[in-house]
Amino acid sequence: MKKIVLEKVINDHYHENDFNVSNLAKSLGVCESYLREYVHSKFLVSPQKLIETKRLIESIRLLKATHSIHDLAAKVGYKNTRSFRRAFKRVYGISHQQYKSKLRKLRRVG
């Protein structure tokens, strides 16, 4: 398996709310245990963390475009807004609303 193939599968499917480690392994034609070992050896994180990271990075891009929280969460593959809000705050240390507010302030200053 190559990193580029793994990244392409994640990029192609992260927005699907049922996309998970099991689906990723199936798409790559490998078992989950091998996938976990491979991902950890190449990225030092779990496959789930790779998927979550892609979703949250994309959410930042969409926040800039002022999408509603419901639309945003759905577009990046979260089944509900609560899961998205918790993940965002856990990773970035602030809520999506605080982040969006900071973006607005920066636009006014810049």
* Residue pLDDT, tens place only, 5-48: 999 999 999 999 999 999 999 999 999 999 999 999 999 999 99
* pLDDT value of residue 97: 92
Report the mean per-residue pLDDT for the chain. 93
Q: Output the 3-class SS for 30-82.
A: CCHHHHHHHHHHHHCCCHHHHHHHHHHHHHHHHHHCCCCHHHHHHHCCCCCHH
3-109 topology per CATH: Arc Repressor Mutant, subunit A (1.10.10)
* Residue 66: pLDDT over 70: no
Residue 94: enclosing H or E segment and its boundaries? none
Sketch the domain layout of the chain as residue ranges.
3-109
* pLDDT value of residue 110: 59
Which is higher by pLDDT, 107 or 54?
Answer: 54
